[in-house]
Amino acid sequence: MSLLEIRDLKVRVGDKQILGGIDLKVEAGQIHAIMGPNGSGKSTLAHILAGREGFVPTGGSVSFDGKDLLAMAPEIRAREGVFLAFQYPVEIPGVSNKYFLKAAYNAIRKHKGLEELGAGAFLKLIKERAKLVELDPTLLDRPVNEGFSGGEKKRNEILQLAVLEPKLAILDETDSGLDIDALKVVASGINAMRHPSRSFVVVTHYQRLLDYLVPDVVHVLVNGRIVKSGDKKLALELEEKGYGWIEAQDRERVAQP
């Protein structure tokens, strides 16, 4: 059984059909990259998996760990092990990063029937994980994402990933807005979190993140459909030739009777 199995998923946002039938299978331990031009539906795919309001499935199914993902509330998906690293992490004034993470961590543990972790043990855990993403430990005491630089926000997302230890991590353009050094740090944090039972879906516009994070499968999303899948060489080919040729192929395919 695949960890994530998407079948013919169609999604509407407002009155616009964004995804027109996605099929995708992600096995445990794999990294899948979702690439594609702007507006192709990459972020929509990330958000529908996380359960964002306003993204309405109009057909198809998503099974996660054998369960119907689309039937779950967003917080249940999170507790079951779906994590979304946001493209634009949200600020929560007055709530310390540490407190927020602890609330999230214990909500997940409770869901699993585990005892909540005490303050001391939790502090030890996040300090250790903060090192992994080279996050300045003083940021743990600051309000969630408030006043963080772009790079700090992205690293903070990866810290949350490292603490919450999901089964499926969806990274939505985590590389956007990062300089090369920050990109390396983020990638090494993600690599450190690789595990035979953990899968990654990496949504990205550019392939440069994939220099550091080697995908098992690369998918190209155009106009709400996966039009091509391949190994990491496909990402390099896209880098070289852009998306135009694939879009042209797709138009031809659609035009054929």
Partner 1 sequence: MPEQQDALKKLTSGDYKYGFASDIEADQAPRGLSEDVIRLISNKKGEPAWLLEWRLKAYQHWLKLREPQWQNLHFPKIDYQDIIYYSAPKPKKLLKSMDEVDPEIRATFEKLGIPLEEQKMLAGVAVDAVFDSVSVATTYKRTLSELGIVFCSFSEAVQNHPELVRRYLGSVVPYTDNFFAALNSAVFSDGSFCYIPKGVRCPMELSTYFRINAAETGQFERTLIVAEDGAYVSYLEGCTAPIRDKNQLHAAVVELIALDNSQIKYSTIQNWYPGDKQGRGGIYNFVTKRGKCKGSNSKISWTQVETGSAITWKYPSCLLLGDNSVGEFYSVALTNNYQQADTGTKMIHVGKNTRSTVVSKGISAGHGQNTYRGLIKIAKGASGARNFSQCDSLLMGDLCGAHTFPSLEVNEPTGQVEHEATTSKIGEDQLFYCRQRGLSPEDAVGLIVNGFCKEVFKELPIEFAVEAHKLLNISLEGAVG
Residues forming contacts to partner 1 in the complex (CB under 8 A) are 50-53, 73-75, 77-79, 83-84, 86, 89-95, 100-101, 103-108, 111, 116, 143, 160, 164
> H or E stretch including 93?
strand 92-96
The least distance separating partner 1 from the CB of residue 161, rounded to whole angstroms, comes to 10
> H or E stretch including 99?
helix 97-111
Q: Which residues pair with 61 in a beta bridge?
A: 7
Tell which phi-psi region holds residue 114, choosing left (phi > 0), alpha (psi between -120 and 50) or beta: beta
Between 79 and 225, name the residue whose CB sits nearer to partner 1: 79
13 burial type by CB count under 10 A (0-12 exposed, 13-18 middle, 19+ buried): middle
Between 90 and 255, name the residue whose CB sits nearer to partner 1: 90
Q: Which residues pair with 219 in a beta bridge?
A: 34, 229
Between 97 and 207, name the residue whose CB sits nearer to partner 1: 97
The least distance separating partner 1 from the CB of residue 256, rounded to whole angstroms, comes to 40
CA atoms of 20 and 129, how far apart (whole Å): 39
The least distance separating partner 1 from the CB of residue 237, rounded to whole angstroms, comes to 33
Q: Which residues lie below 8 Å from residue 256, measured CB to CB, with a gap of 6+?
A: none
Between 96 and 249, name the residue whose CB sits nearer to partner 1: 96
The least distance separating partner 1 from the CB of residue 50, rounded to whole angstroms, comes to 5
Between 124 and 253, name the residue whose CB sits nearer to partner 1: 124
CA atoms of 36 and 72, how far apart (whole Å): 28
The least distance separating partner 1 from the CB of residue 145, rounded to whole angstroms, comes to 9
CA atoms of 164 and 170, how far apart (whole Å): 13
The least distance separating partner 1 from the CB of residue 105, rounded to whole angstroms, comes to 8
The least distance separating partner 1 from the CB of residue 80, rounded to whole angstroms, comes to 9
Question: Which among 187, 180, 241, 246 has a CA at the least distance from the CA of 213?
Answer: 187
Between 172 and 175, name the residue whose CB sits nearer to partner 1: 172
Between 4 and 222, name the residue whose CB sits nearer to partner 1: 4
